[in-house]
Structure 1
Amino acid sequence: MNYSVVIYILGWIMEIEAAFLALPGIVSAIYGEKGGFAFLWVALGSAVAGSAIILRKPKNMRFYLREGFVTVALSWILMSVIGCLPFVINGDIPHFADALFEMISGFTTTGATVVSDVEGLTKGSLFWRSFSHWIGGMGVLVFLLAIVPMAGGSHMNLMKAESPGPSVGKLVPKVRQTAKYLYIIYFALTMIEVIFLLFGGMNLFEALTTSFGTAGTGGFAIWNDGFVSVSPYNQWVVTIFMLLFGVNFGFYFLILTGKLRDALKFEEVRIYFIIVIAAAVFIFINLRHFALYAPAEGIRQAFFQVASIITTTGFASADFNLWPETSRTILVLLMFIGACAGSTGGGIKVSRFIIACKSFIKEIISYLHPRSVKKIKIEGKPLEHETLRATNVYFMTYMVIFAVSVLLVSIENKDLVTNFAAVAATFNNIGPGLSLVGPMANFGHFTDFTKYILMFDMLAGRLEIFPMMLLFCPAVWKRRRA
């Protein structure tokens, strides 16, 4: 383990977070809130500590995949700890475990909250909650790649560890350029949504916080009723942009560079939209069967909630906890599918389910035709054995962690639906679940023990499990021989 470079990167993380923390401090100053000083003091402390660390640059800036995984895991934990301190200091969320839960939920773009009265928070805290979604959506390490030079394949090792999906590829030959292009696309889409929401009657604060949550596929709303009272126009705007941010950003890059034919080969994107349309249609028919909404509103509610759940954004335009069982079951299934790889969305990812389905079909064919040789192809290219193996291992590890988490959460003796939904909502970075953690409820009623279990699940879900698991492996912490 190259400890010096890991600590050096953590120092840069503190510097970057200090800059980010200044923004909610400025927002508080604009609204005349005294609580803004909490953000500025924490920003100052983070900046000073970070500067002390990065003053001495390590002689060896090269590090490998295990350093990348450990750095990413520690970075997200450090960001969350520092980021939660203003909540405790300004009194918006005075209990540390609750503040840490809220911050981890923000950075991992989960959107699960412990706050019962969201509108009672200061503007600075509301801005920071939503802005943390935007920071975590693309990943702060991806941002770091664009500004800090490193040796050899170190950039790629960081990107692999932080980027969601079964594989990470470079859009352009240089990884630093890839990181820059990703953030340009991310920023541009966010600003376009802000403009559309402003046209829909939102003020700048509402448009920014909503767009931050949509872009990061987070889920923190600034209203107690979520998006129930938001206008139909703005609900449609948010629906469309939730779906857009759930698409692999490589798809947008190909379109912007004029490679439309290559973009149309994105099998995952096609299936992603097929799932969205099919799920929304089924839910609409189910809602109409029970005469819950008029046709136009039923279509809007169905598409909004499908987009919100499959992209793991977690915004709620209705209390879907009260919907018919068929509709709720479809939403639960979407929780596990998730968005596309290479997007800001969470969940298992559409690409992994495609691989799993094709592997199943291949196995069936091999039983019928033992001598046949059939290769699994994704996007028209043969799937590498390493990717297939990694996908299978991911599924197995996912199921084990999920089962253990449900078991540990059940110690509180809440009902099975609540326990299952709480783990599903946090592990898949969705936010709202069912029963006691439904869209109009919160996670504040859990004990600190359960909250820490769910915090681990949020981090493991956002970081694709293995960076967090490696922290518990003693061999990882051994120094490399020179």
Structure 2
Amino acid sequence: MYWTNKIKQLNWSIILRIIGFVLIVEAILLVFPLFINFLYHDFQTMAYVLPILICLGTGIPLSKIQSKKGFIFARDGLFAVGLSWIVMSILGALPFVLSKDIPNYINALFETISGFTTTGSSILTDIESLSHANLFWRSFTHWIGGMGVLVFVLAIIPGSNDRTMHIMRAEAPGPTIGKLVPRMKQSAMILYKIYVFLTIVLILLLWIGGMPLFDSFCHAFGTAGTGGFSIKNSGIGGYNSVYIDVVITVFMLLFGINFNMYYFLLMKQFKQVFKNEEFKTYIGIVITCILMIAINIHSLYPNFLEALRYAGFQVATIITTTGYATCDFNIWPMFSKIILWLLMILGACAGSTGGGLKVSRFLIIIKKLKLDIQRLIHPQKVDAISMDGKIVNDELVHQITSYFCCFMFFTFICILIVSFDNFDFETTVTSVFACVGNIGPGFGICGPMGNFSSFSYLSKIVLSIAMLVGRLEIYPIIIFIVPFLKPVKLKKRM
């Protein structure tokens, strides 16, 4: 009865209307791989026409639902985002199954969720056997999920306004999400314009560097969305090009930066960029880790510059949670592997397309620890945590602490379930961190030269949920469980 009442309290008319628009957008996006199907004569037309018809047939009626209650609360926004991503993934997996490139639906769903969440973990053992249409759709899901499909919907949905802030906050990665301009719709448009521009520049640079145009599109989608699906069995390393490695390294790092920084650059507010603590910490961590790993692995390569090249690419791909690989870092010394594992947990900047805990959360947690230690030494000390010269309110600090606890608790539960597959410790632990952090490759069996095909169906389902939880930062997915829990009665202080 409690669960039923909680579900009834949700603003279902607005939630279903949002899902309707999401499905219409997904149908439009499916047209692109359908065009590729005709261009390369893949003969998989119905594998895309049928999902398009299902999306339109369901989405159009739902989008016409009108609500008497125009306001959307935080719980409605969280529920709408979580449900939208689940529905989008369920239907997005159909082309792989219908074309029989991935005949097993659980495997296809794992691959699709990995794409939309920009994780890059794969069950495929022979990627190049896929049709051009499916290769394109597989990489395109990264680009769609990178910025967030609901951010795009906010930009085009009729009547969207600042009351839909809860939706954007639920989907945008990071502890905070600020408006670039007073109107949320304008903010969403600005973000997508920057995203599209950087993607086009990357496509052109890869093409100029000798990468075929189709390959350039697919790898640009994976880089922009920080996803990591390659269309080659050997990954980016298969091109054996220093130029391509450098270009992708630079752009992975660029897409790992908070997109607000690019807006500040466009507005010539350079001080806002260079005084940003998260940005400076992010760059500092990248440079330090590249140098440490390069020094540690230099004996494995002909010279230090070569070691620097591979260290730079792998640090960029892991901290931005992209997941591309140019070498097998499984064979690197333990010191370098530990650094990469720590970067897996850390992730990129808030407001970027990257995953992980985010650098800003890490900074605030460190400042919180420092402040608590100072208060132990000086109990009368009155001080506050600040970021970029602004006071961080206690509520945000509590939210970040709660998020970290939820993140670790959920990760440990997933590790316990995946351990039933009886893989080695390295594979078991890093496979979960790779999925919940949306990184892609882990170590061991699921390393950069391996995949997730040998995991059981139970583990694949658990890891699929982990990818969704990681991309949506726990709460939009956890909200489905909360209604089952009885409320905690808090006693008032006397």
Q: CA deviation at 1:37?
A: 2.9
**CA–CA distance in 1 between the matches of 2:41 and 2:161?**
48
1:270 is paired with a residue whose SS is helix
Q: Aligned pair 1:385/2:394, yes or no? A: yes
Q: Aligned pair 1:243/2:217, yes or no? A: no
Out of 247, 252, 256, the residue aligned to residue 262 of structure 2 is: 252
Q: CA deviation at 1:291?
A: 3.4
Structure 1 unaligned regions, length at least 5: none
Out of 284, 298, 311, the residue aligned to residue 302 of structure 1 is: 311
Q: CA deviation at 1:296?
A: 2.2
Q: Which residue of 2 aligns with 1:37?
A: 46
Instruction: Give TM-score, length-normalised by structure 1.
Output: 0.97
Q: Which residue of 2 aligns with 1:265?
A: 275
Q: CA deviation at 1:153?
A: 4.1
Higher mean C-alpha deviation, range 58-67 or range 399-408: 58-67
2:325 is paired with a residue whose SS is coil
Q: Aligned AA for 1:264?
A: F
Higher mean C-alpha deviation, range 37-46 or range 100-109: 37-46
Instruction: Give TM-score, length-normalised by structure 2.
Output: 0.95
Within 5 A, what are the aligned runs for 1:264-343?
264-288=274-298, 290-343=299-352
Contact 2:118 2:227 in 1 (8 A): yes
Q: Aligned AA for 1:438?
A: G
Q: Which residue of 1 aligns with 2:195?
A: 186
Q: CA deviation at 1:294?
A: 2.4
Q: CA deviation at 1:293?
A: 4.1
Higher mean C-alpha deviation, range 262-271 or range 83-92: 262-271
**CA–CA distance in 2 between the matches of 1:453 and 1:477?**
25
Kindly report the root-mean-square deviation, in angstroms, between the aligned alpha carbons of the 2 structures.
1.4
Contact 1:26 1:36 in 2 (8 A): no
Q: Closer, same or farther in 2 for the Cα pair 1:358/1:21, shift >3 Å?
A: same
Q: CA deviation at 1:292?
A: 3.1
Q: Aligned pair 1:227/2:227, yes or no? A: no
Q: Closer, same or farther in 2 for the Cα pair 1:80/1:477, shift >3 Å?
A: farther
Q: Which residue of 2 aligns with 1:104?
A: 113
1:262 is paired with a residue whose SS is helix
Structure 2 unaligned regions, length at least 5: 1-9, 488-494
1:194 is paired with a residue whose SS is helix
Contact 1:62 1:152 in 2 (8 A): no
Within 5 A, what are the aligned runs for 1:199-218?
199-218=208-227
Within 5 A, what are the aligned runs for 1:65-144?
65-144=74-153
Q: Which residue of 2 aligns with 1:400?
A: 409
Q: Aligned AA for 2:254?
A: L
Q: Aligned pair 1:454/2:463, yes or no? A: yes
Contact 2:252 2:322 in 1 (8 A): yes
Q: Aligned pair 1:18/2:27, yes or no? A: yes
Q: Aligned AA for 2:91?
A: I
Contact 2:297 2:332 in 1 (8 A): yes
Higher mean C-alpha deviation, range 322-331 or range 426-435: 322-331
Q: CA deviation at 1:366?
A: 1.1
**CA–CA distance in 1 between the matches of 2:404 and 2:181?**
30
Q: Aligned AA for 2:62?
A: I
**CA–CA distance in 2 between the matches of 1:54 and 1:354?**
41
**CA–CA distance in 1 between the matches of 2:115 and 2:45?**
19
Contact 1:429 1:461 in 2 (8 A): yes
Q: CA deviation at 1:62?
A: 2.0
Q: CA deviation at 1:413?
A: 1.2
Identity over the aligned pairs, expressed in percent? 44
**CA–CA distance in 1 between the matches of 2:270 and 2:133?**
42
**CA–CA distance in 1 between the matches of 2:265 and 2:170?**
26
Contact 1:36 1:124 in 2 (8 A): no
Q: Aligned AA for 1:157?
A: H
Contact 2:16 2:65 in 1 (8 A): no
Q: CA deviation at 1:475?
A: 6.6
Q: Closer, same or farther in 2 for the Cα pair 1:170/1:248, shift >3 Å?
A: same
Q: Which residue of 1 aligns with 2:492?
A: none
Higher mean C-alpha deviation, range 184-193 or range 152-161: 152-161
**CA–CA distance in 2 between the matches of 1:137 and 1:73?**
16
Q: Aligned pair 1:469/2:478, yes or no? A: yes
1:345 is paired with a residue whose SS is coil
**CA–CA distance in 1 between the matches of 2:45 and 2:348?**
35
2:77 is paired with a residue whose SS is helix
Higher mean C-alpha deviation, range 144-153 or range 12-21: 144-153
Out of 37, 57, 66, the residue aligned to residue 28 of structure 1 is: 37
**CA–CA distance in 1 between the matches of 2:482 and 2:163?**
21
Q: Which residue of 2 aligns with 1:358?
A: 367
Contact 1:80 1:100 in 2 (8 A): yes
Q: CA deviation at 1:474?
A: 1.7
Higher mean C-alpha deviation, range 292-301 or range 147-156: 147-156
**CA–CA distance in 2 between the matches of 1:476 and 1:151?**
32
Contact 2:273 2:279 in 1 (8 A): no
Q: Aligned pair 1:370/2:379, yes or no? A: yes
Q: Aligned AA for 1:390?
A: Q
**CA–CA distance in 2 between the matches of 1:256 and 1:364?**
40
